[in-house]
Amino acid sequence: MKFDANNSGRGRLALVAALFLSITVACERKPGTGGAESTTGDIVVGMYGSLTGDGASFGQSSREGTELAVDEINDAGGLLGGRQVKLLVEDDQSKPEEASNAVTKLVTQDKVVAVLGEVASRRSLAAAPVCQKYMIPMISPSSTNERVTEVGDYIFRVCFIDPFQGEVLAKFAYHDLKARKVAILKDIQQDYSVGLTDSIRKHFTALGGQVLDPVSYSSGDSDFKAILTQVRSQKPDAVFATGYYPEAAIIVRQARELGMKMPFLGGDGWVGDALKNGREALNNSYISNHYSGDNPDPVVQNFVRAYRARFNREPDAIAALAYDAVKVLADAITRANSTEGPTLRGALAQADVPGVTGRLRINAQRNVDKPAVIQEVTFANGEVKFVYKTTINPN
Amino acid sequence: MDTFLQQLINGLSLGAIYALIALGYTMVYGVLRLINFAHGDVYMLGAFAGYFIANALALDANPSILWAILVTISAMAVCAVVGILIERFAYRPVRHHSRLTSLITAIGVSLLLEYGGQVVFGATPRFFPQMVRSETYSLGGVQITNQNLLIIVAAVAMMFGLHFVIHRTKIGTAMRATSYNLSVATLMGINTDFVIAFTFALGSALAAAAGVLVALAIPRIDPLMGLMTGLKAFVAAVLGGIGNIPGAMLGGMLMGLMETGLSATAYSTYRDAVAFGVLILILLVRPAGLLGTARPEKV
């Protein structure tokens, strides 16, 4: 079959133009519907997360935390006079473009009243504009990059942000570990890692320490020995790995294989099942985290007990934050007495509820100011444990 | 100085991984003139076969070298069968068509294994059990692990083994005859179907061995692990001269050293770009590769 340019060229062009126009029109018409206005039936809430792929541990934990909270609400009689909360979960396969697709589907087809997610800042940043455009509130349980809530006034979060997390890590390394010269390994593909690196650098330098030029890698890399050898030659007192847990595990392991004995530090992105891949090499590492399961506060202990009973494992910080995000949403729906986007948004902006991870008071930037904990990472008998070291409060 | 020597060791360790995979690429090409793009994915299957066998034997709790060897051999056997099946059902039906048809079929098989793997094994990375206790040897300021040492030794041993099979055995003679001229080899009484199936079985077994060995050193495995590593091994094979066995070794080592050298600079994130830049450069300047000899195309 031969393509005849003379005959069908113009026709095809017209067709493409028409198609393009119709897509544009279709897209322009939709925004502003502002959520489902129905006042009876289930309240449909959407969650998107990395249930599979590199970030699978994040997705699984947040799904479990979310489900636990939703079931507790439903068992207690639901919201708005007995309406049940129905949770729809979409998998984004740990890919930003899929995150945006998943949220578009939740908002336009499933007509959810609010969206919960994501953990990784890069994927939250990809999906947040969708929620903003359709005026559906989105609550990220654990994306710490400060730009996430800057997307718009419909985007909230229930965790601290990286400028604070970087400060916490820098202070701990300087005061507690007595480090004076540090190296940073950053994952240039992740907004989270890049943001956290900048913050650590700024605060550690402000304290009077020396920060070596950050060394870059990409998500999915598996050979870090070349960059680690360069880091080793500069003899830092401590090394930060600001990326996520899959790479962090291999970085620490290969560093120890190269005879690097100094402490390693990471952010909350280290909390994931695959971290155990680092094995004994993980010893002498520290992370900043959102909550500690060791906290004797009854709110925390009740949550830990319920989670353990249901999922037969210890809840991590990601699960705790996901749980808190649902509680914040439920409180806002109750106060708004509505599931309409703009009304719900207004109620969320004034949220102030006690949570498993601390007091959840939404501030003017739609973030919360919460203390961070420092945990020591230990590995024994095939299991990773996060041992509580100290709590650092925001100024 | 320590840093330089350490980087040299790092480069050789990484290069040995590429060499290990490039050997299989180059052998299949040498015999069949087919670039088997599914080779990297058979490498992935080998790692997964090793993963399931080792977990069934609970080797993570009690590492043992003897069992590790057994696991490697079993994974090689599994992949040899897979290789025969791929040849029988994907490549044999198109063998007498143009070479482009085989090449596109190979890409199809590769995609099938990658995304089929995602369906069967899931996209989530898994941790390869530690079948051999990890040990680090230091000499001065230079460290090397027993696993990386094992990879280097295995790559060299496989290179010599392959050379021996192809040049010193009867089946090797048949392989070379088939490579030279398929129809004449058939006329001479060589069972070329068998020879080709054997070539695939051998190539796939080599890929499986590479998969298990690499997974020991870098214990994260997922269905797409063969994609980038396989492509780089392909570049290594082309760099050394595709079809040439010592060339695969040389190409792999050069690639490893080059990537490590680049990672040591501030441009660490450009290493993939450079790897493929090398491919383009070698195809432009010396298409037969460093050790290859250009063979005129028979018409």
B218: nearest CB among A218, A223, A259:
A223
What is the pTM assigned to this prediction? 0.81
* pLDDT of residue B272 exceeding 90: no
Q: What percent of chain B has pLDDT over 90?
A: 37
Flag residues of chain A having pLDDT under 50. 1-10, 13, 21, 23-36
CA distance linking residue A264 with residue A33, whole number of Å: 49
Residue of chain B whose alpha carbon sits nearest to that of A95: B123
Listed by number, the residues of chain A in 220-279 with a beta carbon closer than 8 Å to a beta carbon of chain B are 220, 222-223, 225-227, 229-230, 232-233, 246, 250, 256-259, 274, 276-277, 279
Quick check: A252 and A244 in contact, CB under 8 A? Answer: no
Give residue A15's pLDDT.
52
A163-289+373-392 has the same fold as A43-160+296-362: yes
Quick check: A233 and B4 in contact, CB under 8 A? Answer: no
Contact call for B268 and A216, based on CB within 8 A: yes
Rounded to a whole number, what is the distance in Å from the CA of B170 to chain A's nearest CA? 40
Chain B positions touching A250 (Cβ under 8 A) are: 218, 220
Rounded to a whole number, what is the distance in Å from the CA of A213 to chain B's nearest CA? 9
Quick check: A62 and A19 in contact, CB under 8 A? Answer: no
Domain A43-160+296-362 has CATH 3.40.50.2300: yes
Average pLDDT of the residues in B31-39: 87
CA distance linking residue A315 with residue A304, whole number of Å: 6
Give residue A189's pLDDT.
87
- Supply A15's token pair: 């067709």
pLDDT digits (tens, 9 = 90+) for B156-197: 998 899 989 999 999 999 998 988 888 899 999 999 999 999
Rounded to a whole number, what is the distance in Å from the CA of B206 to chain A's nearest CA? 21
- Supply A63's token pair: 């799904």
DSSP state of A360: E
pLDDT digits (tens, 9 = 90+) for B54-87: 988 887 777 888 888 899 999 999 999 999 999 9
Give residue A4's pLDDT.
43
Residue of chain A whose alpha carbon sits nearest to that of B126: A274
Indicate the helix (H) or strand (E) that contains A332. helix A317-336
B15 reaches A (C-beta below 8 A): no
> Considering just the CA atoms, what is the radius of gyration of chain A in Å?
23
Chain B positions touching A94 (Cβ under 8 A) are: 123
CA distance linking residue B222 with residue B45, whole number of Å: 10
Contact call for B260 and A276, based on CB within 8 A: no
B60 reaches A (C-beta below 8 A): yes
Computed over every residue of chain B, the mean pLDDT equals: 88
Distances (CA, A) of B208 to A230, A262, A315, B37, B87: 32, 36, 38, 15, 16
B264: nearest CB among A188, A218, A230:
A230
Phi and psi angles of residue A376, each rounded to the nearest 5 degrees, phi first:
-90, 135
Listed by number, the residues of chain B in 128-187 with a beta carbon closer than 8 Å to a beta carbon of chain A are 130, 134, 136, 138, 141, 143, 145
E strand map for chain B: 126-127, 136-139, 142-145, 220-221
Quick check: A156 and A128 in contact, CB under 8 A? Answer: no
Contact call for A382 and B60, based on CB within 8 A: yes
Rounded to a whole number, what is the distance in Å from the CA of A98 to chain B's nearest CA? 14
Of B208, B185, B187, B204, give the one whose Cα is nearest residue B195: B185
Question: Is this complex's ipTM strictly greater than 0.90?
Answer: no
Give residue B268's pLDDT.
74
Contact call for A52 and B60, based on CB within 8 A: no
Give residue A259's pLDDT.
87
Rounded to a whole number, what is the distance in Å from the CA of B133 to chain A's nearest CA? 12
Rounded to a whole number, what is the distance in Å from the CA of B243 to chain A's nearest CA? 28
Question: Which class is domain A163-289+373-392?
Answer: alpha beta
- Per-domain boundaries in chain A: 43-160+296-362, 163-289+373-392
Give residue B85's pLDDT.
95
* pLDDT of residue B276 exceeding 50: yes
Contact call for B269 and A52, based on CB within 8 A: no
* pLDDT of residue B7 exceeding 80: yes
DSSP state of A151: G
Of A357, A327, A379, give the one whose Cα is nearest residue A144: A357
Average pLDDT of the residues in B261-265: 83
Q: Which residues, including other chains, have CB under 8 Å from residue A343's CB and lie 6 or more apart?
A: A336
Average pLDDT of the residues in B118-129: 83
Contact call for B136 and A257, based on CB within 8 A: yes
Chain B positions touching A230 (Cβ under 8 A) are: 3, 263-264
Listed by number, the residues of chain B in 242-261 with a beta carbon closer than 8 Å to a beta carbon of chain A are 259-261
* pLDDT of residue B286 exceeding 70: yes
Listed by number, the residues of chain A in 75-114 with a beta carbon closer than 8 Å to a beta carbon of chain B are 93-94
- Per-domain boundaries in chain B: 21-227
Residue of chain A whose alpha carbon sits nearest to that of B128: A277
DSSP state of A274: G
CA distance linking residue A217 with residue A194, whole number of Å: 11
Chain B positions touching A53 (Cβ under 8 A) are: 123-124
Phi and psi angles of residue A83, each rounded to the nearest 5 degrees, phi first:
-80, 135
Rounded to a whole number, what is the distance in Å from the CA of B251 to chain A's nearest CA? 18
Cα A338 to chain centroid, rounded = 27
CB pairs under 8 A between A and B: 80
Give residue A99's pLDDT.
92
Contact call for A217 and B11, based on CB within 8 A: no
